[in-house]
Chains A and B, each alone.
Chain A
Amino acid sequence: MFERVGFYRFKELHIAGDESAAPQSIRALVKGSVCLEADGK
């Protein structure tokens, strides 16, 4: 959906700021995030 309007996914996600303040379920998803989508234009 996002790609259709010009957005690109990151290969990996990283929480900025106080990572410990982010919800556990989001932290878990981010730690395991190596997106399948290409990280290019």
Chain B
Amino acid sequence: MRLRLSSVCVIIAGWLGVLGGSQAQDGKVLHVALAGTMEQVISREIGPAFTAATGYTFDITRQSSVLLANRIASGELKPDVYISSDANVMELVMGPVNNDRARWYLPILRSRTVIMHGTQSRFNNDIEAVRAGKLPWYELMQRPGLVLKRPNPTVDSGGYRAIFVFDLAERFYKLPELKQRVLGDDNNESQYFDRAKDFPLIPNGSIDVFVTYITNPLVEGMPFVDLPEEIDQSNPSMQDWYATASYTNPHGQTFRGTYAAYAVTVPVAAANPAAAEAFVRFLLPRRE
């Protein structure tokens, strides 16, 4: 087994093309700022493989994408690599108004929005009816007493995408005021999801549904209900439709609907640009 792992590492190091040999012994650290939904796959899978191939270990700053972008733009945070949960958030670190902290970015992965839930919800029968196609998902969302949570849209791309879900739905299904009925105000803090406090409340049914990226239920091993692609913001060919939704946060930053895409950049101030470059290549699909 050890021989096999070594062989894999040699192959990966060869593919990387740079970084190896003496650098692998130097104990160097790559500082990666990333969206929370990206953390597990980076810290548990991709990161260790990159470390095995190059010797670089990771210093990960995990936070909401908009918060990270604002910290990078201000100069307070200077990561080697920044991975955002929304490609459009990259615009917050680009251009003179944002101090030209990055000049390019690469959308690397697509995602989508789903409805995560537990198995102890009082609305389990309705949830299963939605899953079976016997009840429209937006009817479940309007059930009196349903406890719905969503990420904070002022700092989290998953938060404004949850708003887009209901904005798109009220026009797609011709259900005026659907968003207002389900969410109240866009910035309704009572619905904001607090990861530490609220995750345990989903399995026990205290929280009925959480509107979020699909990565959250998959990482947590929780069930979820799919949304139609007109609503889940997954389909690049529906870009024009998604773009009819928008959200402006209290800081005056406006986010327009797009298909959901994670993106990566190496900021101008990266302390380890060569390692950062190698890591970005490491994220891309291997070509035979």
Interface residues of A (CB under 8 A from B): 1-2, 4-10, 13-19, 21-23, 25-26, 29-30, 32-33, 35-37, 39, 41
Contacts and interface: CB of A to CB of B under 8 A. Distances in A.
Given A17-B102, A22-B106, 7 more contacts: A5-B218, A6-B213, A8-B111, A10-B261, A14-B106, A16-B104, A35-B285
Which of A14, A17, A32, A33 gathers most chain B CB within 10 Å?
A17
Contact of A6 (B46, B90, B215, B263): B215
A1 B224 CA distance: 20
Contacts of A17: 90, 94, 102-105
Main secondary structure of the interface of A (DSSP, over half): loop
B266 interface: yes
19 contacts: A1-B41, A4-B218, A6-B112, A6-B218, A8-B234, A9-B109, A9-B285, A10-B107, A10-B109, A10-B110, A13-B107, A16-B90, A16-B104, A17-B90, A17-B94, A22-B104, A22-B106, A26-B280, A41-B229
Contacts of B285: 9, 33, 35-37
Contacts of B219: 5
Interface residues of B, number: 38
Interface of B: 17-18, 40-41, 45-46, 87, 90, 94, 102-112, 213-215, 218-219, 229, 234, 261-263, 266, 273, 277, 280-281, 284-285, 287
B197 to A, nearest CB: 23
A19 to B, nearest CB: 6
A29 B281 contact: yes
Contact of B106 (A25, A26, A36): A26
B284 A29 contact: yes
B284 A13 contact: yes
Contacts of A33: 284-285, 287
A9 B107 CA distance: 10
Most buried by A among B103, B106, B263, B266: B106
Nearest to A11: B236
A20 B284 CA distance: 19
Contacts of B287: 29, 32-33
A19 B103 CA distance: 8
A18 B218 CA distance: 35
Which of A26, A32, A39 lies at the interface centre, i.e. has the most chain B CB atoms within 10 A of its CB? A26
A18 B94 CA distance: 10
Contact of A8 (B18, B45, B109): B109
Contacts of A37: 285
Contacts of B234: 8, 41
A17 B88 CA distance: 11
Given A1-B41, A37-B285, A7 B109 contact: yes
